[in-house]
Amino acid sequence: MTTTVQSELIAAIRNIPDYPKPGVMFRDITTLLGNPRAFRRAIDELVHPYAGTKIDKIAGIEARGFILGGAIAHQLSSGFVPIRKKGKLPHDTVRIAYSLEYGVDEMEMHKDALKPGEKVILVDDLIATGGTAEAAVKLLKQMGADIVAACFVIDLPELGGRKKLEALGVNVRTLIEFEGH
Ligand SMILES: O=P(O)(O)OC[C@H]1O[C@H](OP(=O)(O)OP(=O)(O)O)[C@H](O)[C@@H]1O
Ligand SMILES: Nc1ncnc2[nH]cnc12
């Protein structure tokens, strides 16, 4: 069943066919971010299960996870930890390689960004194959984080990312789903 809030979020997202390559329907959240009501709704929906829970850090995945994660951190009075593509963080880092549709990339976070046992929520805009989020989960676990949940606005269920994270024992929260790539 699609709720009113879900319909509103779906309507706020712009769909761009064949971007960045033929056959991909790009789910563009910039229109949602530019819509004050939809942006607030998305943040409220992502946050509400954790209201009143002490969450030490929100870990946001570059780049769109920074925007959502910053707003969520503010709402939950948590700190924010950026997980960045390699070479962007200035201090000592932990780094992990991960697979993209074509080739591999690496992401990293600062070694002192988290203390073991801290409660962390991982945030990104979208989960597709789950390769990006899986790598982020591995980095967070390496740092000794207690991963409370991984939260995304959009799930592309056919690509299997949610199941991949759940197989790692991660509680996954998503707001809306789209069929296909
Ligand atoms: O589940 P996956 O198959 O790993 O794909 C999901 C990732 O893809 C997009 O980021 P992208 O790699 O396009 O980077 P960007 O946000 O820096 O543009 C999205 O924001 C996720 O981070
Ligand atoms: N279809 C899609 N739209 C936006 N970001 C994505 N990342 C991976 N697949 C995507």
Q: What is the pLDDT of residues 54-84, one digit of tens each?
A: 999 999 999 999 999 999 999 999 999 999 9
Instruction: For ligand 1, pick from 124, 138, 170, 181 the residue to mutate: most ligand atoms within 8 Å of CB.
Output: 124
Task: State yes or no: ipTM above 0.90.
Answer: yes
DSSP-based three-state secondary structure for 162 = helix
Domains and CATH numbers, the chain: 53-177 (3.40.50.2020)
Backbone dihedral region for residue 122 (phi beyond 0: left; psi -120 to 50: alpha; all else: beta): beta
Q: What is the dihedral of CA 111, 67, 62, 44, to 10 degrees?
A: 80
Average pLDDT estimate for 124-128: 97
Q: Cα 47 to the chain's mean position, in Å?
A: 13
Is residue 101 annotated as a catalytic residue, yes or no? yes
Is residue 179 annotated as a catalytic residue, yes or no? no
When mean pLDDT is compared across 3-7, 66-70, 76-80, 98-102, the lowest value belongs to 98-102
pTM to 2 decimals? 0.97
pLDDT tens-place string over residues 21-37: 999 999 999 999 999 99
- Going by alpha carbons, the residue nearest to atom 15 of ligand 1 is 63
Query: Which residue is it, tokens 């004050």?
Result: 36
Q: Give distance in angstroms: CA of 128 to centre of ligand 2.
A: 7
- Annotated catalytic residue, options 41, 64, 84, 173: 64
Q: Which two tokens stand for residue 86?
A: 């390699």
Alpha-carbon gap, residue 152 to 162, rounded angstroms: 10
- Does residue 82's CB lie within 6 angstroms of at least one atom of ligand 1? no
Q: Give distance in angstroms: CA of 17 to centre of ligand 1.
A: 16
Whole-number CA gyration radius for the chain? 16
Omega before 82 cis (within 30°)? Answer: no
Residue 113: closest CA among 38, 60, 178 = 60
